[in-house]
A and B are shown apart, each in its own frame.
Chain A
Amino acid sequence: AQSVTQLGSHVSVSEGALVLLRCNYSSSVPPYLFWYVQYPNQGLQLLLKYTSAATLVKGINGFEAEFKKSETSFHLTKPSAHMSDAAEYFCAVSETSYDKVIFGPGTSLSVIP
């Protein structure tokens, strides 16, 4: 069965510092992996996705994530945090079927001026 864990329900970084949000997954088959962002009082928006092409995936707003099969991880990074990055971030996994996208519990990112 698929599952997603996100280490740290809340992460705080200073403006300009590195952002690192952790995601580990379990899947019985090679997965499809996603990061979504949710700004306050809004729906989720896709940041980036891994679909078995390049292991380093670049997304919107300067975010990127690296798929590491040996570690079953898909951590999200951004070199320099901006105030506008403050939001909730969700990692998600899917196997081959579209009806089984499993979301992690989310990590709330705060950016300190």
Chain B
Amino acid sequence: NAGVTQTPKFRVLKTGQSMTLLCAQDMNHEYMYWYRQDPGMGLRLIHYSVGEGTTAKGEVPDGYNVSRLKKQNFLLGLESAAPSQTSVYFCASTPSGSPYEQYFGPGTRLTVT
């Protein structure tokens, strides 16, 4: 099993550009999450999904959109990138009935100039 994978690993965007981050998991997990990690702030939940075709807002959803068309994939979109979105983005998943242990991907480092 590859676990949770994220594509790309690094990206540099200019202000106003758009991009999509892909998260894929091969563990048949029901729940998937997108977090951003900023120095001194821990991880903050952007959006999450409790199953295929469903998404919900987390703590810091503004400026981001998500889609979960397939159970194994969770996409995070930035329609018009801003410097404030410079961060490390982590995807995580967890199986149904086990909300406690989240399995994390390796992260995507995004810089917006």
Contacts and interface: CB of A to CB of B under 8 A. Distances in A.
Interface string B24-50: 000000010001000011111100101
The B interface, classified by DSSP as helix, strand, loop or mixed, is strand
Contacts, number: 56
A103 B43 contact: yes
B4 interface: yes
Interface residues of B, number: 24
A51 B42 contact: no
A103 B58 CA distance: 13
Contacts of A41: 106-107
A110 interface: no
Nearest to B107: A43
Contacts of B92: 43-44
B42 A94 contact: no
Interface string A31-42: 010100000011
A104 B45 CA distance: 12
Nearest to A99: B48
A90 B37 CA distance: 12
A14 interface: no
Contact of A51 (B45, B90, B100, B104): B100
Interface string A88-100: 0010001001110
16 contacts: A9-B40, A32-B99, A32-B100, A43-B92, A43-B105, A43-B107, A44-B43, A44-B90, A44-B104, A98-B50, A98-B94, A98-B99, A99-B31, A103-B35, A105-B40, A106-B42
Interface of B: 4, 31, 35, 40-45, 48, 50, 56, 58, 90, 92, 94, 99-102, 104-107
